[in-house]
């Protein structure tokens, strides 16, 4: 693995090339990937009377070295934190995904034994995943209307990211339907404050995370520290009005770190303070485990959801998910016990000193 300093330098380049340029090049439509049968439109079926509740973790197990070895646990492994933007039928920019592409990727993750957790759970090390399974963090930037909306019956619209995630979770029961939505001043394209609150509270009530992506999505590196803090606080105040908890995480617009990194982590403006457990970038490889010595909660890696074309030959989700398949010993695999950190003996030296009491190493 590269060092944290090296990762941040890489992101400085990858963010500009992969994210900022893609946003500017609207109208350039990348070649569509060939749909598989998994992407085929499902037959119409009645929706359930109420949305699926987030799956609860199975009854706790006490991980012993023998059990950890049996399930090939490695909680020092890498975790894919996948970044999505608009989910629209016709892609207008390279970072857009279609509903069929989102469904295909989520089903692939489910079949490969991944279980979604929120960005907050990941950043704080609260990883509750069944033994033998792997966490994945699904993140959606900008609070676009394609991410979430309620129909006339108060249920998630089927064509939104949440609707698709719930559909996949019904098909694969272990694939708990949770994700993180980092929003700006107009959450989910909604203007009415009461409707904004209704949407945000529905998501929070059903285990999703709604958190800070700044007020107006500026390039934070171009702002003074006071302006950075204002951008963050104004969005925090909006979230408070919407009735959701203070943000534990933030995604930096364009993945651009402020000139003063500390302004992104914590600070205050006009009497309102913030303190984030995790600051997320915009690329370009899986994150190290939150228990690893090299983990930097102030600069957490993400992977753009995309195929293997152009810049994405080495930096996007299809490449990295295939890479983790080919290198299973580098992938985070849970022991099913949230109170222990199970790793092969060779990895014990890579765990943070403050976590040593939880260490469960096996040979």
57 has pLDDT over 90:
no
Question: N- to C-terminal Cα distance for the chain?
Answer: 22
State whether 93 and 230 are in the same domain.
yes
Return d(Cα 310, Cα 72) in angstroms, integer: 35
Q: What is the pLDDT averaged over residues 262-286? A: 96
**Helix (H/G/I), strand (E/B), else coil: 200:** helix
Give the confidence band of 284 by pLDDT, cuts at 50, 70, 90. Answer: confident
Return d(Cα 298, Cα 7) in angstroms, integer: 12
Task: For residue 182, give both structure tokens.
Answer: 């980092």
Contact by Cβ (8 Å): 181, 143: yes
State whether 194 and 257 are in the same domain.
yes
Residue 26 in domain: no
* Domain residue limits at 65: 57-75+335-363
Give the confidence band of 60 by pLDDT, cuts at 50, 70, 90. Answer: low
List pLDDT tens digits, range 120-135.
999 999 999 999 999 9
Contact by Cβ (8 Å): 172, 111: yes
Spell out the SS3 assignment of 17-56.
Answer: HHHHHHHHCCCCCCCCCCCCHHHCCCCCCCCCCCCCCCCC
Contact by Cβ (8 Å): 292, 352: yes
CB atoms within 10 A of CB 312: 24
Write down the pTM of the prediction: 0.85
State whether 157 and 269 are in the same domain.
yes
Domain harbouring 298, CATH code: 3.20.20.370
**Helix (H/G/I), strand (E/B), else coil: 357:** helix
State whether 110 and 229 are in the same domain.
yes
């Amino acid at each position: 693995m590269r060092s944290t300093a090296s990762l941040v330098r890489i992101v400085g380049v990858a963010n500009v090339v992969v994210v900022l340029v893609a946003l500017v090049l609207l109208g350039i439509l990348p070649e569509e990937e060939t749909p598989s049968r998994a992407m085929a439109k499902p037959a119409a079926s009645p929706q359930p009377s109420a949305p699926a509740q987030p799956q609860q973790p199975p009854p706790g197990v006490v991980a012993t070295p023998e059990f950890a070895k049996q399930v090939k646990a490695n909680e020092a492994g890498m975790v894919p934190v996948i970044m999505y933007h608009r989910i629209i039928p016709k892609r207008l920019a390279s970072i857009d995904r279609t509903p069929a592409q989102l469904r295909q990727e989520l089903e692939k993750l489910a079949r490969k034994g991944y279980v979604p957790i929120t960005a907050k759970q990941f950043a704080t090390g609260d990883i509750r995943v069944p033994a033998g399974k792997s966490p994945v963090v699904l993140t959606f930037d900008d609070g676009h209307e394609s991410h979430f909306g309620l129909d006339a019956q108060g249920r998630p619209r089927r064509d939104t990211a949440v609707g698709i995630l719930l559909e996949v979770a019904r098909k694969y029961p272990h694939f708990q339907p949770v994700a993180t939505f980092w929003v700006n001043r107009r959450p989910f394209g909604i203007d009415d404050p009461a409707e904004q609150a209704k949407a945000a509270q529905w998501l929070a009530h059903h285990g999703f995370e709604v958190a800070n992506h700044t007020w107006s999505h500026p390039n934070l590196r171009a702002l003074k520290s006071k302006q950075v803090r204002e951008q963050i606080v104004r969005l925090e105040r909006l979230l408070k009005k919407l009735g959701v908890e203070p943000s534990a995480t933030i995604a930096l617009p364009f993945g651009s770190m402020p000139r003063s990194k500390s302004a992104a982590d914590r600070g205050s403006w006009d009497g309102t303070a913030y303190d984030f457990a995790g600051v997320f970038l915009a690329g370009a490889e899986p994150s190290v485990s939150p228990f690893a010595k090299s983990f930097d909660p102030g600069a957490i890696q993400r992977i753009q959801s995309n195929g293997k074309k152009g810049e994405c030959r080495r930096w996007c989700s299809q490449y990295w998910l295939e890479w983790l398949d080919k290198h299973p010993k580098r992938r985070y695999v849970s022991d099913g016990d949230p109170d222990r950190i199970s790793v092969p003996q060779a990895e014990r030296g890579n765990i943070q000193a403050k976590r040593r009491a939880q260490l469960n190493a096996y040979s």
